[in-house]
């Protein structure tokens, strides 16, 4: 008998969490071995190790409690990794030396597998004077480019994939450039972006008042608040970024607002953290706790839930002592406050088992009740730990009880905290659970609705072939098991594709009321939602008490949401276009290449790359079509023989593309996006991530000079001639890990349904 509820669960365990030797030989022979490994590692800090190992194992058994991925993969492995998922780094100083010291700290943290968050509001705006060097500042976005290149370098060097969050205050003078940064799809690809929105700004938006953009008390610009708000909304409407963080509400609701100020979050936004703060995450699997599902008597036993929460809190508290930390400041911050984030997953499935429609007032009410129960049990468990092991070092009873969410907690809990102290300053958070939800049998993720009742997943086999398997939602499969495979699902079964955006907001607000930190959630919006209705989603999120808001609207820029049932009835246009092969479909090629005239007009450019012995020479020849010059061929030459193979290959490939005609400006953007894992170089005051990116810049310069492009960064981001034909479902972006077109937006992060890859880790 296997413990796994679905084949995908076992595959995720084997890929992500199973302990193996360096050559791939399994050490964990079964998932029970993995549970035992984790339980033993977290019980190692206890006096009675045997008793607590047994209790911890029981909590893990059958996926009832799901520690975050880094704990599941790293606990008990004796590897130099952190068990904390993400960190917010120190405050970035407004000095060159301080900025690059922060870059070094970020690299060390990411090297151990931690995602990072940064507030870039502390860096002076572009054009501000720099004293002592007779120069103007390049601004925070230029340094974000450096962070972006570092993250890609660390990731490509073999460490766990990187993830970063960048925040900027809504009153920073460079906020408009920050808002529009993701319009260039090749820029800041390793970052999630969020604007720190203040209460005074929201009031100015409502009143259509003016808004000062300032730094160090100096007003640089004054804008209309509503205009700036509309720019934020339009960017996220078009590009799904930036997100919005209601930063004043976060600080007001923080149990530690008497000793810290928050200005940044981890990459998925569910953990607002102070400088050097870390997020330690885990989830109660609500779908596994429902007794008598799909009956009138369906329920979750309160005592069972309380006991499971208490064990989970103890396990998470022990992680603080069992984990390694990339930096000493991170260790001290974690031990002084012992902040943890216990959340839930499988919530939507649990609601279905009780016959409740996700997004309905009844479902929101049940969600609030469950989350309050978990919050109470978490606080009381942490109080018991304080009685046994001591309160967190910065605990001050009077200040703590007069802060944040503790002011709303029940009197019996407050009295217990006053009498005995509390071990963990903050205890609850709703983390992204995309991968661990698959590992738990494809339960619904976090507090998200069911994404799809079922979908087809392509699985790569050892011989290189791919097989298809159906992946069914946990609750749907349970309903089928009870009522038969052909049973019609009741009306209360809803999914992310059909749910109204304001129903999403209702559920997030219901959960937020009893969550100390924040919530990682995506509000899915239909492609045809009007801009005014889209803005209403954010305003409703603010008015209903949410701490932030992240939306996803499928479109040509963001990619389509994975479709699971409807077939694409569109017929590809009968034009000479290049199409990608998909699902056994045909490939349609463009017309024959343009004929080469005897003579062409062109230019040769010399490119000197720092630390390279020989320069590279680029010759770009143009052809005149319809009275306009357009690039026709490229020749790339260098005396450096190490460059010979790739310069010849690049010459042939780029020239082949140019000769096919059409808008070939995407070639520039593709080259500019290439990074060198060894690091790029500063060229004429601008950071260039690789020599290939430099070549792309030279070609772009030529295209601008000949009138083919209007300006820098104004080329296409992808090949406009690529068309997919004969496929069963509309496709979005390909997964960068496995190449499958199964990317979906879940909990604020694009996640692959085929392999579990997530940009946010």
pLDDT tens track for 37-78? 999 999 999 999 999 999 999 999 999 999 998 899 999 998
Does 266 qualify as catalytic in the annotation? Answer: yes
Q: Which CA distances in Å does 524 have to 44, 145, 259, 540?
A: 43, 29, 36, 15
Higher-pLDDT residue of 730, 499: 499
Determine what percent of the chain is predicted with pLDDT higher than 90.
60
Question: Quick one: CA dihedral 52, 57, 63, 64, positive or negative?
Answer: negative
Helix locations, 187-241, DSSP H = 199-207, 225-239
| Token duo for residue 698 | 């030279």
pLDDT value at 730 more than 60: no
Does 546 qualify as catalytic in the annotation? Answer: no
pLDDT at res. 161:
55
- Mean pLDDT comparison of 338-347, 465-474, 696-705, highest-scoring range: 338-347
Rounded mean pLDDT of 560-574?
A: 38
pLDDT value at 178 more than 80: yes
| Integer Cα distance of 457 and 742 in angstroms | 8
| Integer Cα distance of 529 and 214 in angstroms | 34
Confidence of residue 292 (pLDDT cuts 50, 70, 90): very high
Three-state SS letters, 431-452? CCCHHHHHHCCCCCCCCCCCCC
Q: Which of 151, 268, 749, 755 is catalytic?
A: 268
Higher-pLDDT residue of 85, 709: 709
pLDDT at res. 696:
92
pLDDT value at 22 more than 70: yes
Rounded mean pLDDT of 533-552?
A: 96
Rounded mean pLDDT of 136-155?
A: 86
pLDDT value at 215 more than 80: yes
Rounded mean pLDDT of 668-672?
A: 87
Range with the lowest mean pLDDT among 156-170, 389-403, 442-456, 558-572? 558-572
pLDDT at res. 432:
86
pLDDT at res. 748:
67
Rounded mean pLDDT of 727-753?
A: 62
457 closest CA partner among 466, 469, 446 = 469
Higher-pLDDT residue of 548, 131: 548
Confidence of residue 663 (pLDDT cuts 50, 70, 90): confident
Rounded mean pLDDT of 607-622?
A: 85
Q: What angle do CA 127, 133, 134 make, to 5 degrees?
A: 55
| Token duo for residue 746 | 């879940």
Does 61 qualify as catalytic in the annotation? Answer: no
Q: Which CA distances in Å does 482 have to 63, 293, 351, 479, 489?
A: 21, 9, 17, 5, 12
Question: Quick one: CA dihedral 122, 124, 126, 130, positive or negative?
Answer: negative
Rounded mean pLDDT of 485-511?
A: 93
Confidence of residue 569 (pLDDT cuts 50, 70, 90): very low
Q: What angle do CA 271, 273, 275 make, to 5 degrees?
A: 155
How many of the other CB atoms lie within 10 Å of CB of 530? 10
For residue range 219-275, what is the model confidence (pLDDT) as tens digits? Answer: 999 999 999 999 999 999 998 899 999 999 999 999 999 999 999 998 898 899 999
Range with the lowest mean pLDDT among 106-110, 325-329, 457-461? 457-461
Q: Which of 241, 270, 448, 747 is catalytic?
A: 270
| SS3 state of residue 704 | helix
Q: Decide if 280 contacts 287 (C-beta within 8 A).
A: no
436 closest CA partner among 474, 464, 466, 388 = 474
Q: Which of 85, 266, 285, 524 is catalytic?
A: 266
pLDDT value at 644 more than 70: yes
């Amino acid at each position: 008998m296997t413990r796994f509820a679905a084949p995908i669960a076992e595959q995720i365990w084997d890929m992500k969490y199973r302990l193996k030797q360096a050559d791939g030989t399994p050490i964990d022979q079964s998932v029970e071995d993995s549970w035992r490994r984790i339980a033993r590692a977290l019980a190692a800090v206890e006096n009675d190790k045997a008793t607590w190992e047994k209790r911890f194992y029981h909590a893990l058994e059958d996926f009832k409690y799901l520690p975050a991925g880094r704990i599941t993969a790293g606990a008990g492995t004796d590897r130099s990794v952190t068990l904390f998922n993400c960190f917010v780094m120190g405050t970035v100083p407004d000095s060159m030396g301080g900025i690059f010291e922060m870059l070094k700290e970020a690299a060390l943290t990411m090297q151990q597998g931690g995602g990072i968050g940064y507030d870039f509001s502390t860096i002076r705006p572009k054009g501000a004077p720099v004293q002592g060097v007779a120069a103007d500042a390049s601004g925070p976005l230029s340094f974000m480019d450096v962070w972006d290149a570092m993250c890609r370098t660390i990731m490509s060097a073999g460490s766990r994939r990187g993830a970063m969050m960048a925040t900027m205050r809504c009153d920073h003078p460079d906020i408009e450039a920050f808002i529009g940064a993701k319009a260039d799809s090749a820029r800041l690809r390793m970052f999630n972006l969020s604007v720190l929105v203040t209460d005074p700004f929201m009031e100015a938006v409502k009143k259509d008042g003016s808004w000062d953009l300032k730094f160090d008390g100096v007003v640089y610009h004054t804008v209309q608040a509503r205009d700036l708000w509309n720019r934020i909304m339009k960017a996220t409407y078009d590009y799904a970024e930036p997100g919005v963080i209601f930063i004043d509400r976060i600080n007001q609701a923080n149990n530690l607002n008497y000793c810290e100020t928050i200005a940044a979050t981890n990459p998925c936004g569910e953990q607002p953290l102070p400088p050097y703060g870390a997020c330690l995450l885990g989830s109660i699997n609500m779908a596994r706790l429902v007794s008598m599902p799909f009956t009138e008597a369906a329920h979750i036993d309160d005592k069972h839930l309380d006991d499971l929460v208490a064990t989970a809190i103890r396990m998470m508290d022990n992680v603080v002592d069992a984990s390694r930390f990339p930096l000493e400041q991170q260790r001290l911050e974690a031990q002084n406050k012992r902040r943890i984030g216990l959340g839930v997953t499988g919530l939507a499935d649990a609601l279905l088992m009780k016959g409740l429609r996700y997004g309905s007032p009844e479902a929101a009410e049940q969600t609030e009740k469950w989350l309050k129960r978990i919050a109470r049990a978490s606080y009381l468990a942490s109080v018991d730990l304080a009685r046994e092991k001591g309160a967190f070092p910065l605990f001050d009873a009077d200040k703590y009880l007069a802060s944040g969410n503790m002011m709303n907690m029940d009197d019996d809990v407050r009295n217990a905290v006053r009498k005995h102290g509390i071990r963990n300053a903050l205890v609850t958070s709703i983390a992204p659970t995309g991968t661990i939800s698959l590992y738990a049998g494809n339960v619904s993720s976090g507090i998200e609705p069911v994404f799809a009742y079922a979908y087809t997943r392509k699985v790569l086999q050892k011989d290189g072939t791919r097989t298809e398997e159906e992946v069914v939602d946990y609750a749907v499969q349970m309903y089928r098991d009870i009522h038969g495979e052909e049973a019609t699902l009741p009306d209360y079964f809803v999914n992310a594709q059909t749910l109204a955006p304001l129903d999403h907001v209702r559920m997030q607000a219901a959960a937020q009321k009893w969550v100390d930190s924040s919530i990682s959630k995506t509000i899915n919006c239909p492609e045809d939602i009007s801009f005014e209705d889209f803005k209403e989603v954010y305003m409703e999120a603010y008015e209903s008490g949410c701490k932030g808001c992240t939306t996803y609207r499928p479109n040509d820029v963001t990619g389509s949401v994975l479709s699971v049932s409807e077939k694409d009835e569109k017929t590809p246009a009968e034009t000479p276009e290049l199409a990608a092969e998909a699902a056994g479909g045909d490939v349609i090629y463009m017309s024959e290449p343009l004929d080469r005239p005897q003579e062409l007009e062109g230019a040769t450019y010399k490119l000197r790359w720092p630390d390279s012995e020989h320069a590279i020479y680029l010759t770009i020849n143009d052809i005149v079509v319809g009275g306009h010059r357009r690039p026709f061929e490229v020749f790339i030459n260098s005396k450096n023989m190490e460059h010979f193979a790739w310069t010849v290959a690049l010459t042939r490939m780029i020239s082949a593309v140019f000769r096919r005609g059409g808008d070939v400006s995407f070639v520039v953007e593709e080259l500019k996006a290439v990074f060198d894992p060894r690091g790029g170089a500063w060229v004429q005051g601008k950071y260039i991530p690789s020599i290939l990116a430099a070549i792309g810049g030279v070609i772009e310069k030529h295209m601008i000079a000949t009138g083919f492009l209007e300006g820098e960064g104004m080329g296409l981001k992808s090949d406009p001639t690529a068309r997919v034909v004969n496929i069963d479902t509309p496709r979005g972006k390909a997964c960068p890990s496995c190449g499958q077109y199964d990317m979906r937006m879940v909990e604020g992060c694009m996640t692959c349904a085929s392999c579990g890859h997530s940009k946010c880790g």
